[in-house]
Structure 1
Amino acid sequence: MEEITTTQSQIDLLQAALDHVNQGFSVFDQNLRLLAWNRGLWEMLDFPQTLAKRGTHLEDFLRVNAERGEYGPGDIEGKIKRRLQRAKLFEPHYFERVRPNGQVIAVNGTPLPQGGFVTTYSDVTESRRKQEKLERTVEERTRALRQSEDWLRLVTDNIPALIAYMAPGPIYRFANRRYADWFGQSVTSIVGKTGPEVIDPSIYAEIAPHIEHAFRGNAVSYEYQRILHDGRKVAMRSTLIPDMTVDGRTLGVFVLSLDATEQKRSEATLMQSQRMDAVGKLTGGLAHDFNNLLTILMGNLLSLSRHEGALDPEALKKRISPMMQAAQRGSELTQRLLAFSRGRPVDPKVVSLPGLLENVESLLRGSLPSSIVLDIDIDESQPGARIDPTQMETALINLAFNGRDAMPEGGTLTLRLTQVELDERQATDLGVVPGSFALVSVTDTGIGMEEETRLRVFEPFFTTKTFGTGSGLGLSMVYGFARQSGGAVTVTSARDRGAEFSLYIPSVRAPSSAALASAETADRDAYLPFGNGELILLVEDNADVAKVLAEQVRDLGYTVLLAESADDAAALATDLTEIRGVLSDIVMPGQTNGLALARQISRRRPDVAIALMTGYADWGDLQSDEKEVDFPVLTKPIGNDRLAQTLAQILDSKAAAAKQ
């Protein structure tokens, strides 16, 4: 009796524990009759208390549910029968049932070893509501994100810029329509492709170092040019911004590219304006130089006229030698001034910087007042640079004239050329790539500038000069040239302590000035070839010039025939088979210029050697449709050595062709 009491107490204790569980609980035997349950089952599923007894068959529970619509409308007996058949299989099962009141019950049944099963019932209504809410939120946010991406695509596709994102590789992860079109891709086809697969190999080889520099965590700007299918040359200016994490890792690079073609044209126009402004300042000094040269010429000519026939060969040579040197000096000054004033499109080439500074010195010497001392200091390392030489000369002359204006009472203007190595920190401060740089500094001992002015000195249109005396573009164009050349420009100054502008340009190996001078000397001293009486047709519209040139050609051993016009020359070259060569001026009055005449004669007489002459620094600008020249062009005044070499070469070339 005591054992029964103890067992009953344990059962009651177990039942009390089960009643406090927040789940429903039931145990059915192998005959599908109720063995155990807890209070939570009745509270959760609202079963009648009459069923709460051992031995109640599962069918009774199913019937209650079916009759109150828990299983939906339809055949009640059929619904009960199908559920009983599944229960008799005694298989593990889990399902969720939504009651008519919206309550969601999770039913989890586990079979017992001797038959029957234990089932738990969980009210998951709140959990499912939260899940549905979360799913709706995710769906709404996905829809919003998709809409945001659509808006982003719409915006970026309509911005007049090329926009892209590159992951390490570099691999494209995004590109707007303009960027994709620029490289012949679509916005979908470009994604996943590498840089070399998208960008033309010649262009990629040029910009690859900039991309690598950006992936190392540096903002980079650069320019490149491309020729379109229709033959137009366009310029693109790109900026790469690294996408970096807080700990300094580079996840990718944002790319922004703008069509800079029109801007480059505007810059060229501004550069020409600056050149012409500098030319105006240079001409006063050059006029002084030319007056000195003319004095030498006129003085010696007067001396020759006074002593006509009375001078011995040595005395005659002393009069002629300075005249020849003065004429040569005048020719060099003219060519440099014309080349500088006419300029060229941006045309980077490897240039010897010492030679370039010497050219600038020759232009500046006569343009500075006597109160200013010009000091040129060139490093023995002979650095070179890949630059547009005309732009470099323009920049240095602008800086020199700024220094001159800062020294109204006189002083010293110093142009210094050295070579420096920039480490990572120094290069980062200047915004350039570390390496070897040519440093060209222009220093004056003038009035200097205040810090506020120094910080704004490279701004376009900013000037401290009196209205109408300065455009405010000179120093901004110096800055633009430095950046365009892959370099930088800085300025240090203080009030009453002068100023120093420093141009950093990436240096390359270039022939030294001494080597170039040696080569020129060797050319001048080379054997001077003479003719054997060959007949040369000379075409020159200026009678005085024609007379001098004819005499010069005769002195070189040739026979000369003068033509009065281009039409006369064409007829003579056709009719006189004895003519072996033609020497023609390019720019002449009338419809036919020298180049057209040369081509006409060449078609009729392919055996005739032809050379052209011009007094213009850049004659091609006069004939926009004549850019390719098939004949050697001699610039007036023509030295004997150059004329002799050219005539010999073109005649030998025709003779060799005739033998083949």
Structure 2
Amino acid sequence: MAMASPMTNEQSLEALKAGLNCIDQGLTLFDANLNLVYVNKSACDLLGLSEELARPGTPFETIIRWNAERGEYGAGDVETMVEERVRAAWEFRPHTLERVRPNGVVVLVSGWPLPSGGFATVYSDITAQRRREMDLERRILKRTDELRQSEERLRLIANEVPAGIAYVDISGQFQFVNGRFAKAYNLKPEQIIGMRERDLLPPEVWDYVSRYFEKAICGEPQTFDTPITFPDGRRLDIRTLLRPDRSSDQTINGFYVLSVNVTREKQALDALLQAQRMDALGQLSSGIAHDFNNLLTIILGNLKPLSDRIHDEYLRSEMLEPAIRATRRGADLMRRLLAVARRQPISPSKVDVSECVGEIAKLLRPSLGEDIGLICECDENTPAAFADPALLETSLINLVINAADAMNCSGGSITIRTSANADGAVAIAVSDNGPGMDETTRARIFEPFFSTKSDQSRSGLGLTMVHGFITDSGGSIAVESEPGRGTFFLLTLPAATGAVAGSETESAQGPEGYPLKNKLVLLVDDEQAVRRVLRRDLVAAGASVIESENGAEGLEILKQVSAVSAIVSDVSMPVMDGIALATAARKLRGNLPIVLLSGYGAEAVSKELPDGISIMHKPCDVTAIAIALANSQTSSFEKGGPNT
């Protein structure tokens, strides 16, 4: 195969031009006199050069003037623009610039001087590239704006969350805090930024929590509770969670702080524990009450007849009567214990209010200390109240102790006054000259679990109990108090009218008691010693007695012995209890007088009693039993029954 002959210089130049016409970048060459030497096809297409302008030898100035007149360089004086560009071209300096043509095409222009003089210029269409960059820039700006909005949204959320939120860097400085965190310290978020934890927290708090912060810096999550006294004087229980902030390489950058107020949660837990303790006390009280009151029934039942038979005045006054009073006091103490333990329903009776106040004063004066005085001013015309004596005592004790606590050993006086209200009710005022209460506190004092005591030593149920007792008794309670002017409580209770069950002045044979003489009474109790005492009292009152040790046996006797005129039964017994016996007896004989005796305090609420029958609390004497039987008979006749 024959080899081709070498190309001539002219052929080589044409081949070079053909190759340059194939590239997608424009190229122009100008000689040292600034005349066009060469322009490729891409340059003509990109710049819009006509065939005439693209001829070799065309002056640089001609091409520049043509561009300027077409607006390639923007608005301005054409000659000035031509002059500036021609002058720059004569300097033959390397340059790179971008130019946006009137048609929107973006051209990148790069020029270099040639060794022989003149210069070469390359033109690149970067329109698509610039559009991509502009689109990317728009997306970046949009994303930045979205992130800014997201950050603002997160900041807003953080400020609305009911918790303190903060971020602490590795050096221990706050870099972020939300509004609630800053507000707790009476500061603005920007005032805390840059502070250290130890500079913000009270010294005693920092001494306690510093070990948790040190562990959090080491990457250990921490959770702890601590009481904090804030600048506004509030002392709150705060639960704090510290969670480390780690980089992708597990480097610790700092930690996040979440602080939550758990004061109410703690109070609720304390109240629950207090309620559980009260329930345990109630169970314990109920457990021992039956046996204890049975013992008191036996003791009192034997001491009273013994007192009647001993004529030695010294023995009676110095030994027997104190023993009887002590026995009654023991029964009252058990009723009070059951009331405090909430195991006994309200049992209203006639109460000498002035005497009650006097007893409370004797009880409390030694414990109040020398700095707090307790003054009792009881009007001699104060009527007896119809209320539960144990709960009345407990309520007044609560009010006095609350007043003493408010004075906080700073000294002062507490006054208890009794009088007759305008409408005849009993008025009891408990006042003090202590620090008083603001309107917010005054509005909440009767709420369950609410307490103003920072040490939470109280359950917050005392005034709730007082309010409940007074309202359940048909009375009212009002409070007046202002900061620095002390506190005034006014309690009103209904006055007692008529005879009161249980009064020793009543006669067993009187018109208000059931006539026991020549009556056959069914006595039911599982304690033989208790039956012995009750039988003796009933027989002494003129009754005949038939005994049974449980309700089932007593019911059989009732079915077989039609002469039974009344039933006196214990409540808590094996086989069949007293309430079941009373229910069955009323179905058999609707007009049968029945009285139930109990050493407990909760049966009346645990089971429904038949109409007209109430529970008497042991120990009780035959006078009270006779009155209760009479009331039971009256109620039965009024309501009617199967055999009336």
TM-score (norm 1): 0.44
Greater CA radius of gyration, 1 or 2? 2
Q: Which has the higher contact order (CA 8 A, sep 6+)?
A: 2
